[in-house]
A and B are shown apart, each in its own frame.
Chain A
Amino acid sequence: MTDQPRFAHASEAELARILDYYGVRWQYEPRTFPILWNLDGAVVESFSPDFYLPELDLFIELTTLKQSLVRRKNRKLRRLRELYPDIRVKLFYGKDFKALMLKYGRFDIAASLSGLEGQALANSAVAPPPAELVAAATAGDGAAVPDAVPPAPVAALTSTSAAPRRPSRGTRRRRARRRAHQHETTMPVPRSAGGPRPTPALTELGGAGA
């Protein structure tokens, strides 16, 4: 059984329970992919898929938000696939997840998926992560571009019940946009011949597998 991180959405916690039930190992937001840089080379936009299934080498992004936000996520996903063509990402829309919940008879959760109602995750299971994960997370963060990559994975893996709540995705997006505006001009860094930006721009953490 995986130590439960602090999930951003109730649907994520439910998917984690489903994966645990069927014995599929998972990691929660273990990796952040920069997808937009400013002229100074600083990352101004990044994407952290919700789950990584190491045995299947598959990232899963759950989108249970309203349509306008889904469009933004679709754009980020397209960008991710352009920059990292070898990464396998499956986007699970709200209707997909709702159908899954209906299939499993989880009507309470299905009913909460019409908008942002599921956002407030009451008493989500939060267990201190194993020491090696904290160490790996810290090391990974230090090795990455500190100002450029959102701290989401580290916060997710190192949070405890006494720790401050991790900023919501909306807050992180707003912060990212502010950073972008501070640099006045943002533009994607041209791709090198080999594909995405060099690896040091990535934050890669040790996993919290089941």
Chain B
Amino acid sequence: MTDIARRPDLDADVADVLITEEQIHAKVRELGQQLGRDYAASELILVSVLKGSLPFMADLMRAIPIPVQVDLMEVSSYGGTSTETSGLVRILKDLSSSIAGKDVLIVEDIIDTGLTLNYLLRYLRGKNPRSLRICALLDKPARRLVEIPIDYLGFTIPDQFVVGYGLDYGEYYRNLPFIGVLRPEVYERS
């Protein structure tokens, strides 16, 4: 986990608002309607990847006008702790029920390198879902290492360090209601 040298200042540490709260909610409503149409006759399970996806998941599930089930997963992140720079990615929290034969939609906050999602896709395919698709709020293609097919996308963003609406820096800023660009001084002084 990243340690921040001082207590974060939610107002001062954000240089710009990249996506406003209103823009997020409009996009989430749009995605929810589209998912409702596409999965109208399906048994849909939304799988959210902790922790960053929580606000997106919470809003998206309420915007989908059909019955859905919800499940949560958490995977370790490279460099997440001092020991997480060797070995392999680990499932910290697995699904709580079977997805075999069901339509699964992974709900992600952001796709950056694609490495985590690439791992998750391989892992979940092994559980034999009927279909497996991806819904991401943000796509940051500049640093993509693994190309991931994004079936439902909110916004494509430039290569900037963004926080808010679930996205963190050092576990902070997740509770901002918008997507903001973090001032470089914040992470450069850490």
Contacts and interface: CB of A to CB of B under 8 A. Distances in A.
A105 B2 contact: yes
Interface string A30-45: 0000000000000000
Interface string B62-80: 0000000000000001111
A106 to B, nearest CB: 5
A24 B79 contact: no
Interface string B159-190: 10100000000100000000000000001001
Interface size class of A (residues with CB under 8 A): 20 to 34
A178 to B, nearest CB: 36
A56 interface: yes
B122 A23 contact: yes
B89 A22 contact: yes
B78 A18 contact: yes
Interface in B92-132: 112-113, 115-116, 118-119, 122
Contacts of A70: none
Contacts of A106: 79, 85
A58 to B, nearest CB: 8
B122 A24 contact: no
Contacts of B84: 21
A20 interface: yes
A21 B89 contact: yes
A56 B190 contact: no
22 contacts: A17-B78, A18-B115, A19-B115, A21-B78, A21-B84, A22-B119, A23-B88, A24-B115, A24-B146, A53-B145, A53-B146, A56-B146, A58-B145, A92-B143, A96-B142, A96-B143, A99-B159, A100-B143, A104-B77, A105-B2, A105-B79, A106-B85
Interface of A: 17-24, 53, 56, 58, 60, 90, 92, 96, 99-100, 102-107
Interface of B: 1-2, 77-80, 84-89, 112-113, 115-116, 118-119, 122, 142-147, 159, 161, 170, 187, 190
